[in-house]
Amino acid sequence: MAIALEWNGARLRKEVALVPPRAALGASMVFHGLGKLKGEGPQQAGQMFSQIGLQPGKHLAVATGIAEVFAGAAALLGLWTRPAALAVLVTQSVAIAKVHAKNGFDITKGGFEYNVALMCIAAMMLVAGPGKYSAHEGIECLLEGRGAKRLYRKARPNALLRLVKLLK
């Protein structure tokens, strides 16, 4: 009995431990994405993108802003976390390659320390998924139903449930 309780406690701690990194990544990505999308952001980010060789600058800046806002919102909600993690990995890889690599690791010198931290959190989300305390888990439970229906749907999921599980 004690082993079962300890395992459940460990499982609970693991599930709860997924929430703060998701929240930190989500808030950071929404903040950075909105900066590229509102006011003079598209124009300024577009000019910077053009200067580092990414053409057409403004269109790529807007696309990057949308990807970052999507990734952030998805991480905060715990919905589509794996596609969101891929978006973070791609945007931050480009940021390191085009902007930060020449400055080294140190963030105070414009380095890629922060980008690596974001990428590590995204890699954790890619591997672990959203966890039990997420919008995805709630949607999945609603689609599975209760009682015998739930057992049947777990054994033979319909197309919608398979899609939801795939995008976890």
111-140 burial: b if 16+ Cβ within 10 Å, else e: bbeebebbbebbebbbebbbbbebebbeeb
Whether 67 and 145 share a structural domain? no
Check whether residue 118 and residue 138 sit in a common domain.
Answer: no
92 plus 156 within the same structural domain: no
Please check the confidence at residue 107 and state whether its pLDDT lies above 70.
yes
- Do 93 and 161 lie in one domain? The reply is no
* Number of domains comprising the chain: 2
Residues 86 and 147 both lie in one domain:
no
Mean pLDDT for 101-125 is: 95
Alpha carbons 89 and 111: distance in angstroms, whole number? 17
The overall average pLDDT reported for the chain is 90
Q: Are residues 87 and 162 in the same domain?
A: no
DSSP state of 106: -
Q: Please indicate, yes or no, whether residues 113 and 140 belong to a single structural domain of this protein.
A: no
Q: Is 19 exposed, middle or buried (0-12, 13-18, 19+ CB in 10 A)?
A: middle
Please indicate, yes or no, whether residues 70 and 94 belong to a single structural domain of this protein. Answer: yes
Residues near 8 by Cβ (< 8 Å), separated by ≥ 6? Answer: none
The answer on 156 and 83 residing in a single domain is no
End-to-end CA distance of the chain: 32
Give per-residue pLDDT as tens, 33-76: 999 999 999 999 999 999 999 899 899 999 999 999 999 999 99
Does one domain contain both 95 and 121?
yes
Q: What is the pLDDT of residue 1?
A: 45
Domain of 44, in residue numbers = 2-131
Tell me: do 13 and 90 sit in the same domain.
yes
- How high is the pLDDT of residue 146? 81
Q: Is the pLDDT of residue 94 over 50?
A: yes
Cα 37 to Cα 54: distance, rounded to the nearest angstrom: 17
Do 97 and 139 belong together in one domain?
Answer: no
pLDDT at 6: 53
